[in-house]
Structure formats: C-alpha cells, structure tokens
Copies of this chain bind each other. A is one copy, B any other.
Amino acid sequence: MKNSDATRGITRRRLLGVAGGAGAAGLLGGGVADAVARRWAGPAETPLTATGATAVPFHGRHQAGITTPPQAWGHLVAFDLVPDAGRPEAAALMRRWSRAAEAMTAGRPPEGDNQIALDAGPCSLTVTFGFGRTFFGKTGLEDRMPEALVEMPPFPGDDLDRSRSDGDLWVQIGADDPLVAVHALRVLQRAASGTAAVRWQMNGFNRARGATERPRTVRNLMGQIDGTANPDPSDPDFDAKIFVGGATGGEAWMDGGSYAVVRRIRMLLDHWERLPVDRQERVIGRRKDTGAPLSGGTETTPADLTATGPDGTLAIPGDAHIRVAAPASNGGATMLRRSFSYHDGHRDDGAPDAGLLFVAWQADPTEGFIKVQRKLAGGDSLSRFLKHESSAMFAVPGGAEDPDDYVGRSLLEP
C-alpha cells in the first residue's frame, strides 16, 4: 500500500478540479479522435470526464443504487453466512462492508486495497445491501423479519435454478467503469471471508454514459426501450410506492428501506429476432425505434389502452406487455425497475445465455412485483420469449445516515 494514499490524494485533487477541463476532453474526443483513433499513442494524461469524476454519496436516508441512474456495469452477488456465523459476525461484516463501500464510492482506497481501481475516479459506484428471508433465522432475528418479505409464490412458466436463487445477504454493485465495479466486488468478497461465502454472482451491463442521447431509459437485448413507464422520483406518490416509511415495532429498522425482487430472465433471442418488427411491436405495445406506445405520441406519452386503429381493433393489443403490466390493469401496482442486461455466452443447446438481470424496487412486493407477475405469467404475449431462471427477494434497509453508522445497524444492534 505504500504511497497509495499520496497518489490517491493527487488523483482526488485533480478530480475536484476536473470540471473546467472536461469540456476540452469532450471536444477533442468527439471532433479529433476519428483521425487519431487508429494510432494508440495519445497524450500522457487526459482529464477525468463525468464518467470517472461522478461520486454518488454512500450516506443518506435511502441506500444508493435504487434511484441512482443505471450505471454501465453491474454485479449482483448473494452470500450465505458460514455455519458458525450468527448475529455478531453479521453485524461486524455489515460494518466492514459499509466502511469499504463508503471509501470506494468516494473514490478513496479501502483498507487493505488491492489497487485495481487505484487511479480511477469514483465512476458513480454504488453498493447496495439487502437481507434475504434465510438471514433472519440464522441470526436469531426471526421475530424481526418484516411481514412484507414474503416467500415468493411460484408463477406459471417459472424454471428456477435454486442454486442461483435466494441467499442470506445480497450486494448490488453498479459503476460506470468495469474495473471500478470489479474492484468493489473483490474487496467486498475478501471482507466477507470467514463470515459469508458467495452463493451466486451475476454480471450485467447497461448503456455507457454518453453513448446515447437517451438518458432516462435504456434498450434491452430485445432492442426494446425499457423502463419508460417507470415511476418518476418527482411523482407525489413515488416515495410511498417505492420506500418503506414510518415502519413501526419490530420492523422499524426498515424505515427508509425498500424491497428488491431480483430475477434472472433469459430472453429467447433467436426466436424473438425471427419475429418481424411490427409483430415484436404488437407483443410489447410500443414502437421499437422510438418507444412510443402504439396508441400514438412519443416515448413519454401515456399509453391510451382504449385507443383503436382504423380497423376498429385495439391499437395496443389485448395481450400486449404494456397493457398487462400497466398499473391500471393491476389496481395501481407500481414498482421501479432498474435492471441490467447480461450475455454470458452460450448454453449447451446453442442458444445465447443472455437476457435481463431484472431488479424491481417497491415498498411492498405483494402489492408490486407479485401482483404484476401473476398477471404477466398468465396472459402476457411477451412471456413466451422469456424464461425466468432464478428468483430472489431481499429486504434492503434504509441508508446509513450518520458517517459512523453502517447499513443494517438498527436491525443488528437492537
């Protein structure tokens, strides 16, 4: 570690002074790079851009990584406590994890750093922690398990791999730089050593910052714009739908928290891509290129589920995904979807092992994901192009508000 603090100090100072320089970098990159890109040699140093310089605060009422804009790269990891670990060991782990996450998200090296991210900025790194149902029994905290953390019911068409489902603890890592993300993954894994072991791990991705002019939504591997109908944080009922507020009694530790539903959803891309685009659009209910609902307008125009076409039939078909998933079709059920795509190569049958690492956030899964998925699994035209291969649900406590605090303290230190 020698000199790493000094080096990091310089980097941080440069980072804080970057705003004035980033403009020039953007200009040079966009205008001149074409001419020089075939030659590798470049300037000895280039300023960090927003990709590197952006820091997302670790401390706050809510954990980061829920309403944070989706990052380019993500790791989802579930851990199981080792047999001898109970509540004190879990508390110590959450303290170590929080301390390491706080340092890394601020662009500082954590204790015992392996230096993978040494000269990178914080790159919008977020680390989000959650607890699965099995965590509470193993730590003697059965009576404090929230009622909302129900057992996930089976859905028609589920084809779940239990070894890649569930888990005592969950960590969601997101960053706009792959090495910053993998650095956090390694550091948190090492910090868990002796207390918790990896149960499953999945790697995902989204658009890189600055790769597209469309900032709020991304395309998935079906080529479809995803997330258009997400609730907006400025909606008056956003917090009530997504975050737990004013929890009382044994569940007070969930105040400011949320519930994450995590599903590995493989897309049958070979089948999907054989479907003509106009039929793909009728499966979804939106235009593929613009994301506009088939009832007209632009991406952000609300879908008119009653609109009909010139031939008198519904503009958005009866089994279209956006109709079946719409809050209006589900008694107002709302969730914030914040997923990553994945592509892990190929399966033995030759099909791409690719799709969506679906992550949905809500104040109550029974009134969010479970309600919507019951409808989708039954009558959604998109379902025949998807395979749900794993499933998990986690109680994600509120953020550590105090600089000395750690995530989960009010559960683990009663």
- Partner of A208 from the list B176, B212, B346 (CB cut-off 8 Å) is B176
- Partner of A50 from the list B55, B210, B213 (CB cut-off 8 Å) is B210
Tell whether, in the assembled complex, residue B277 and residue A211 are in contact, meaning their CB atoms are under 8 Å apart.
no
A330 proximal to B (CB < 8 A): no
Complex interface: chain B residues within 8 A of A213 (CB): 11, 14, 45-48, 119
Mask of A344-373 contacts with B, CB within 8 angstroms, 1/0: 111000101010000000000000000000
Tell whether, in the assembled complex, residue A54 and residue B30 are in contact, meaning their CB atoms are under 8 Å apart.
yes
Tell whether, in the assembled complex, residue A120 and residue B38 are in contact, meaning their CB atoms are under 8 Å apart.
no
- Partner of A23 from the list B27, B39, B117, B219 (CB cut-off 8 Å) is B27
Q: Which of A65-73, A90-98, A148-156, A243-251 contacts B (4 or more CB under 8 A)?
A: A65-73
Number of copies of this kind of chain in the complex: 2
Complex interface: chain B residues within 8 A of A31 (CB): 19
A205 proximal to B (CB < 8 A): yes
Tell whether, in the assembled complex, residue B209 and residue A51 are in contact, meaning their CB atoms are under 8 Å apart.
yes
Tell whether, in the assembled complex, residue B38 and residue A68 are in contact, meaning their CB atoms are under 8 Å apart.
yes
A223 proximal to B (CB < 8 A): yes
In this complex, the interface size class of chain A, counting residues with CB under 8 Å from chain B, is 35 or more
How far is A20 from B27 in the complex, measured between Cα atoms in Å? Answer: 7
Tell whether, in the assembled complex, residue B343 and residue A203 are in contact, meaning their CB atoms are under 8 Å apart.
yes
How far is A209 from B176 in the complex, measured between Cα atoms in Å? Answer: 10
How far is A350 from B216 in the complex, measured between Cα atoms in Å? Answer: 38
Mask of A31-52 contacts with B, CB within 8 angstroms, 1/0: 1011001111111111111111
Complex interface: chain B residues within 8 A of A202 (CB): 345
Which chain A residues in 265-279 approach chain B with CB under 8 Å?
Answer: 269, 273, 277-278
A306 proximal to B (CB < 8 A): no
Complex interface: chain B residues within 8 A of A141 (CB): none
How far is A22 from B186 in the complex, measured between Cα atoms in Å? Answer: 34
Tell whether, in the assembled complex, residue A60 and residue B42 are in contact, meaning their CB atoms are under 8 Å apart.
no
Beyond A24-B23, A211-B51, A211-B180, whether A18 also contacts B39 by CB under 8 A is no
Beyond A30-B53, A216-B42, A218-B179, whether A115 also contacts B288 by CB under 8 A is yes
Tell whether, in the assembled complex, residue B207 and residue A177 are in contact, meaning their CB atoms are under 8 Å apart.
yes
- Partner of A176 from the list B182, B211, B354 (CB cut-off 8 Å) is B211
How far is A87 from B352 in the complex, measured between Cα atoms in Å? Answer: 27
Tell whether, in the assembled complex, residue A7 and residue B116 are in contact, meaning their CB atoms are under 8 Å apart.
no
How far is A264 from B198 in the complex, measured between Cα atoms in Å? Answer: 23
**Distance between A392 CB and nearest chain B CB, rounded to angstroms:** 16
How far is A43 from B11 in the complex, measured between Cα atoms in Å? Answer: 29
A161 proximal to B (CB < 8 A): no
Tell whether, in the assembled complex, residue B41 and residue A232 are in contact, meaning their CB atoms are under 8 Å apart.
yes
In the assembled complex, 12 residue pairs joining A and B whose CB atoms fall closer than 8 Å, in A order, are A29-B49, A38-B57, A39-B67, A120-B211, A176-B208, A176-B211, A178-B207, A179-B206, A182-B341, A185-B343, A190-B273, A202-B345
Sort A-B residue pairs by CB-CB distance and give the 10 closest, nearest first: A29-B50, A49-B210, A23-B23, A22-B26, A115-B223, A178-B205, A177-B211, A51-B210, A19-B31, A52-B211
Known contacts A1-B277, A39-B233, A45-B214; 4 additional CB pairs below 8 A are: A38-B57, A120-B207, A177-B208, A178-B207
A contacts, CB < 8 Å to B: 1-4, 7, 11, 14, 18-20, 22-31, 33-34, 37-57, 60, 62, 64, 67-69, 72-73, 114-121, 123-124, 176-180, 182, 185-186, 189-190, 197-198, 200-203, 205-216, 218-219, 221-223, 230, 232-234, 269, 273, 277-278, 287-290, 300, 341, 343-346, 350, 352, 354
